Amino acid sequence: MILIMFIVSSVVFFIIRWLPGDPVYLWVGDHPTKEQIEKARQNLGFNEPAYKQYMSFLKNVGTLDFGVSLRTRQPVIIELASRFSATFELVLFSILISLILGFPMGLLSALKPNALFDYFVRGFGYIGLSIPVFWLGMILQLIFFGILHWLPLQGRYSGIASSDSQLLYNSGFLLIDSFFSAEWNLFFDGLKHIMLPALTMSLGVLGIILRTTRSAMMDTMNEPFFKTFVSYGFDENEIIRKSAYKNTLIPVSTVVGLSFGLMLGGTFLVEAIFDWPGLGQFSVLSILTSDFPAIIGVTFLYTATYVTINFSIDIFYALIDPRIHK
């Protein structure tokens, strides 16, 4: 995990310095003098050779010091902390939607291959994988906000709902904090706001999960133990419900872990479309303005989150399959 984070951060450090544009001008503002530019370059350390900047970068990253954002003039770690919870909550909610819908649909599809429901599930999976996220987000906005008026257009919550709320917990995760604080107006308002971006992100992953579940379940149904249960007179639904579904958990868990990283990257577009105050929107603005410290900080946080999730899934393997211990 540490090696991966080191490699990714180092690659990003050198790549962003090859990109066109001088980040110093973002710091000094419009119409700076030559003296102001030189002083800013010296204060920010950009006048040093690349290898010295890199050594200083490694030293600071070891203490989670990513410097100050050139665009917002705030410490990068504070900017990341204030936005991470919004992005993580959105991605986690999207993964849960994909898993809750995709896993049972995949199991049911495997029970009756080449039936009408199976064709529907496979077709739905292909559609989810092929539809662009940005297009789907705007279509959902047109339908659920513009036509049906069921869900809000953008944002994380309404101003009215938040102004009347007094949260007992303030972890940054709006739904969790409002739920345990019994602030039901804020909870349901946040739930309505998260539905459209979560549905937009979950559709593609839903297709991957249901197809993986279907494939793993069909392989399991061809195993000798499954045929033995069938020969004893057990119903296929009962076999799957009580035993066979466990054989699908490891491939599905792997897909969920990989999809988490896919969704983290997908938040760039989704957060821009739905004006979601998370890391994706912050990342886009940082890249457009060549905000070097912010870009490195976001990349480091994305990498750390991704490898941590996948490490947790590796641990989960041993919990659901005792054979791994042997």
Mean pLDDT across the stretch 1-21?
A: 80
Per-residue model confidence (pLDDT) at position 162: 55
Percent of the chain with pLDDT strictly greater than 90: 3
Per-residue model confidence (pLDDT) at position 181: 82
What is the number of other CB atoms lying within 10 angstroms of the CB of residue 48?
14
Per-residue model confidence (pLDDT) at position 325: 64
Q: What is the CA radius of gyration of the chain?
A: 24
Summarised one tens digit per residue, pLDDT across range 37-81 is: 777 777 767 777 777 878 888 888 778 878 888 788 888 888 888
Per-residue model confidence (pLDDT) at position 324: 67
Q: Which domains does the chain have, with CATH numbers?
A: 2-61 (no CATH), 80-325 (1.10.3720.10)
Mean pLDDT across the stretch 227-254?
A: 81
Summarised one tens digit per residue, pLDDT across range 184-218 is: 888 888 899 999 999 988 887 888 888 888 888 88
Alpha-carbon gap, residue 63 to 89, rounded angstroms: 26
Residue 225 has pLDDT above 70, yes or no: yes
At residue 33, what are phi and psi to the nearest 5 degrees?
-85, 165
Residue 275 has pLDDT above 80, yes or no: yes
- Count of alpha carbons within 13 angstroms of residue 124, beta-carbon side: 20
Percent of the chain with pLDDT strictly greater than 70: 91
Question: Is the distance from CB of 159 to CB of 172 less than 8 angstroms?
Answer: no
At residue 68, what are phi and psi to the nearest 5 degrees?
-110, 135
Query: pLDDT-derived band of residue 322, with 50, 70 and 90 as boundaries?
Result: confident
Per-residue model confidence (pLDDT) at position 58: 81
Residue 167, both tokens: 């949260």
